[in-house]
């Protein structure tokens, strides 16, 4: 059963990876990375049980904490494009989403 779960996680990673390859916008890619990160946390926990070493779950814990930093860095980079490139300032500078 754990093998099946591992396989399901890997298949989902493959699907997310193809979304990242296809993804027309940057946000699709970020979404794919975020998803692969969460799936890695689960995969590491499942492998720890599959190998009968539950004391190695520290690793999954590390990823659960660290993934957030990477995603924050990526989003900060995207949000600050305006400051680096004055030509896009107009579209990005409003903090509020555009009214529908």
| Near other proteins in 36-95, by CB under 8 A | 36-81, 83-84, 91-92, 94-95
Residues 3-22 that bind other proteins (CB under 8 A): 3-22
Task: Find the shortest distance in angstroms from Cβ 77 to other proteins.
Answer: 5
Task: Find the shortest distance in angstroms from Cβ 86 to other proteins.
Answer: 9
Which residue from 27, 87, 89, 99 is in contact with other proteins, where contact means CB under 8 A? 27
Q: What is the dihedral of CA 57, 2, 7, 71, to 10 degrees?
A: -30
Task: Find the shortest distance in angstroms from Cβ 87 to other proteins.
Answer: 13
98 binds other proteins (CB under 8 A): yes
Contact in structure between 6 and 47 (CB atoms under 8 Å): yes
| Number of amino acids touching other proteins (CB under 8 A) | 87
N residues, the chain: 100
User: Measured between alpha carbons, how far is 92 from 84 in angstroms, rounded to an integer?
Assistant: 12
Of 66, 58, 13, nearest to 40 by C-alpha is 13
């Amino acid at each position: 059963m754990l093998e099946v779960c591992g396989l399901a996680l890997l298949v989902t990673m493959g699907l997310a990876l193809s979304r990242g390859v296809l993804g027309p916008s940057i946000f699709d890619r970020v979404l794919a990375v975020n998803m692969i990160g969460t799936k890695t946390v689960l995969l590491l926990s499942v492998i720890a049980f599959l190998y009968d070493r539950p004391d190695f779950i520290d690793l999954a814990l590390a990823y659960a904490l660290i993934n957030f930093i990477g995603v924050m860095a990526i989003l900060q980079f995207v949000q600050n494009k305006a400051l680096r490139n004055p030509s896009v300032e107009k579209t990005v500078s409003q903090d509020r989403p555009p009214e529908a």
